[in-house]
Amino acid sequence: MDDATKVIRLLIIDDHQMVRDGIKVMLESRTELFQFDIDEAENGEIGVQKILKKFFDIVLIDYQLPGMTGTETLQKIRLYKKDMKVLALSNYDELSYVKSMIGEGANGYILKNIEPSQLIQAIQAVLGGSSYYSNEVALKLIDSAKSSDVITPANKNRLTKRELEILKMIALEMTNDEIAKGLFISKRTVDTHRQNLLNKLHVKNTAGLIKAAYAFNLV
């Protein structure tokens, strides 16, 4: 089989059957470049189990999932498959959602109203080592980058005592589970604090949070 009909092994993690079916129809109708071998999972737990048992070239993950969220699912995937290509999939283009998925290692963020040709383009870009964002998402990321603050010790005043605690624990490379157990709070609460830290400090990912922790002399 030559490159013109390369097989792409793809996993869709989404709790709506209609969404999964719609994506499958879109991809399976575009066979001029690829043949898609598509598997699906209705939640993050099932998705992670499938990833542990089978190789996928790329995974599409809904941001909002029942039980384990899209962000938490991506955290789990990155524990086991650091280099797996992942596209976040959502109905929402809110910057906080986008940044939370990018911060956990998503290679792109697309909206569910994407055209079939754009979906193929997104998959090609990510498989080729690039990032891909729907137009609405890309514009918000550009605007956010233009208005980003430089991390300075003065920004420390923006944070609550609990946020400073969690920032220090993140810098010490503690997982969300470990932070939750250490502070006797839920993982979901830790995830909320982590997202608040990203928003308040205008950083994109865990590396940015660690940089801030050092700037604030927390570690």
Q: Where are the extended beta strands (E) located within 14-69?
A: 34-41, 58-62
* For residues 196-210, average pLDDT: 84
Question: What is the tens place of the pLDDT at every residue in 120-145?
Answer: 999 999 999 998 998 888 877 766 66
Burial 72-93 (b: 16+ CB within 10 A, else e): bbbbbbeeebeebbbbbbbeeb
pLDDT at 147 over 60: no
Residue 136 token pair: 């609405």
Please state the domain extents for the chain.
Answer: 3-144, 153-215
Residue 37 token pair: 């071998």
Question: What is the tens place of the pLDDT at every residue in 39-85?
Answer: 999 999 999 999 999 999 999 999 999 999 999 999 999 999 999 99
Percent of the chain beyond pLDDT 90? 57
Percent of the chain beyond pLDDT 70? 92
DSSP 8-state class, residue 39: E
pLDDT of 1 reads 44
Angle at which helix 187-201 crosses helix 176-183, to 10 degrees, equals 110
Q: Please name the helix (run of DSSP H) or strand (run of DSSP E) that holds residue 121, with its range, or none.
A: helix 116-127
Question: What is the tens place of the pLDDT at every residue in 5-39?
Answer: 689 999 999 999 999 999 999 898 877 778 999 99
Whole-angstrom Cα distance, residue 5 to residue 34? 5
Q: Which CATH class is domain 3-144?
A: alpha beta
* Full-model pTM: 0.66
Q: Which CATH class is domain 153-215?
A: mainly alpha
Report the chain's mean pLDDT, rounded to a whole number: 88
pLDDT of 139 reads 78
